[in-house]
A and B are shown apart, each in its own frame.
Chain A
């Protein structure tokens, strides 16, 4: 288990360096010259050189990459082309906001989705299953921004129950979370259902019933623990997607999140900001993946034992010799 953990953790910085390198190359392939964009419409060659030197753009690409990595590790995300100030000032405060939105939404999705999916699997082909299935398909195909606008119109403008924009109080979060949640929840319920159906049909479930286990025990312990692997993967993936992918919801509800900033940075060709935002998303995605990998090992002993450490292997060998 320790070896498995270390294995996974070592991969994290390597992956991040690779991700940063690719983003760097992609941004450098861009046709437009950021220096020209930052200068006033009439400028001299001296102005151009000064601006180029200020942002370190006169150096060759590998050197730029190296400098950027060194600075990023030290917490310096560079200077924004647009504001001419530190990127960290513009991006840093957005991280907790995006995380909060993604976390609350994922949490509600899990709390609602797992019981609903399990119920559908247990009551397969009954009215309950059909209704949830149709609802899931219906809600899953509603575009998020449209739903957001309708919700604002109904609950904020007409009924006045919730504020239309901002992030101040808990009430501010209700509509955005709901808007972001629905399409994801719909898909989630169906995936949980199919993962559970796979497990419910297994022989060990029949064994559990033949032992005299109560139905709840059979479903929520024996079957669900086996269904958890695909569910964990799915949950992790959705959480990572939500951190950067809630652009439309952030736009509709004017929530200053990371995804929102990425769109802005692309529009204004603000490379340092874009790079910083993308890296932050990459870090979170990789961290979530790490947690997912580690929880695999917690749930499934087969994965755990394939990464057994040397000490454990020796112990097992000794034990087997004793038995023989």
Chain B
């Protein structure tokens, strides 16, 4: 019934578990008025084929910057990118604009945070979906494009008759569905969803997440889900990366990160403790004290030490914390130095 069950999806299912994207030592700096902001610092990440990775962190942790750097969409003059972004065997860092263009929207596509402003107000939604199909398929007939647009709209739960309407005629949830339709129109290998539900109200959030999960299963695509909602991560993701001040502080499978009995980064513990628990009686929530440091004024040593309940003098020293690795689980924290002894 659905055109999305293509040979491409079959191929992906066969090759599940192979590495699709590997980010090595990625650093991004923004320069504005001689102030250097270190938005992303030495990030290592990888996504397998068919896998869903959750990228979790507070506002300003560098999640969106990481995502935009994959697509090469960071502002040209004010940002510097270092490191490697290996996508399906090719390094996208330093790739030509032509190469990147052929990948954007067709092999890697992105859903943005705010559907209200992410659609062009003066073009029909149908034509905005048709655009991405036209960009990546030469010699495709007008008729065929139309059919595919109708098909994709029904996939995301919008009646195809509404394709001639404009963005202002859609509600927020429907606009995000249109954005998803644009993102999946070319059946991408990797879908980056940048807080796709943050701007939506809770009932619509659930609908959109459910739909995305269904589509992901259907297409077998990999997904990088950027969010600060741990509930969504628990529902949707295979692997989780916790990001703080431009660094990945904890990384592992869903079990690694969500199992309370295993060791965790103090920041991860803080995140979980700040979620209200309905089975226990609590008078107050336990927030993480302090604020995320501004990327232009990152502290020395471990970047979390000013807010860390377990922080010691050692954490303030110039060294980056070493990585504690246990199978698939990685934690970047001094407390695990020398076999996990807390210093």
Tell me the A residues contacting B by CB distance below 8 Å: 125, 202-204, 206-215, 222, 225-226, 299-302, 305, 319, 323
Contacts and interface: CB of A to CB of B under 8 A. Distances in A.
Contact of B122 (A125, A208, A299): A299
B121 A211 contact: no
Q: How large is the interface on B (under 10, 10 to 19, 20 to 34, 35 or more residues)?
A: 20 to 34
Nearest to B102: A212
B104 A206 contact: no
Contacts of A203: 112, 114, 117-118
Contacts of B110: 210
Interface in B87-109: 97, 101-106, 109
A211 B107 CA distance: 10
Contacts of B168: 301-302, 305
B73 interface: yes
A69 to B, nearest CB: 41
B104 A211 contact: yes
Given A210-B109, A211-B105, A211-B135, 10 more contacts: A203-B118, A206-B118, A207-B112, A211-B131, A211-B182, A212-B132, A212-B136, A214-B135, A226-B122, A323-B159
Contacts of B179: 207
18 contacts: A125-B77, A204-B119, A206-B118, A207-B118, A207-B120, A209-B104, A210-B71, A210-B104, A210-B109, A212-B103, A212-B106, A212-B136, A213-B105, A222-B123, A226-B121, A301-B121, A301-B166, A305-B169
Given A226-B120, A302-B166, A319-B161, A210 B101 contact: no
Contacts of A208: 120, 131
Contacts of A319: 161
Contacts of A214: 101, 135
* Residue among B102, B103, B123 with max Cβ neighbours from chain A (10 Å): B123
A210 B105 contact: yes
Contacts of A323: 159, 161
Contacts of A301: 121-122, 124, 166, 168
Nearest to B132: A211
A302 B121 contact: yes
A203 B109 CA distance: 15
Interface of B: 71, 73, 77, 97, 101-106, 109-110, 112, 114, 117-124, 131-132, 135-136, 159, 161, 166, 168-169, 179, 182
A206 B119 contact: no
Given A212-B105, A301-B166, A305-B166, A206 B73 contact: yes
A322 to B, nearest CB: 8
A89 to B, nearest CB: 48
Contacts of A125: 77
A301 B166 CA distance: 7
Nearest to B124: A301
Contact of A209 (B73, B106, B136): B73
Nearest to B113: A203
A213 B121 contact: no
A229 B30 CA distance: 33
Contact of A204 (B121, B161, B169): B121
A215 B76 CA distance: 13
A78 B179 CA distance: 63
B182 A207 contact: yes
B120 A222 contact: yes
Contacts of B117: 202-204
Contacts of A212: 101-106, 132, 135-136
Contact of B120 (A204, A215, A299): A204
Contacts of A206: 73, 112, 118
Nearest to B67: A210
Nearest to B77: A125
A208 B129 CA distance: 10
A177 B90 CA distance: 56
A119 to B, nearest CB: 16
B122 A225 contact: yes
A209 B114 CA distance: 16
B71 to A, nearest CB: 6
* Residue among B73, B120, B124, B168 with max Cβ neighbours from chain A (10 Å): B120
B119 A207 contact: yes
Contacts of A213: 101, 105, 131, 135
* Residue among A125, A212, A299 with max Cβ neighbours from chain B (10 Å): A212
A208 B159 CA distance: 23
Contacts of B71: 210
Nearest to B129: A211
A76 B304 CA distance: 85
Which 9 pairs show the lowest CB-CB distances between chains A and B? Answer: A212-B105, A211-B105, A212-B104, A203-B117, A204-B120, A211-B132, A301-B166, A203-B118, A210-B110
Given A301-B166, A305-B169, A319-B161, A210 B119 contact: no
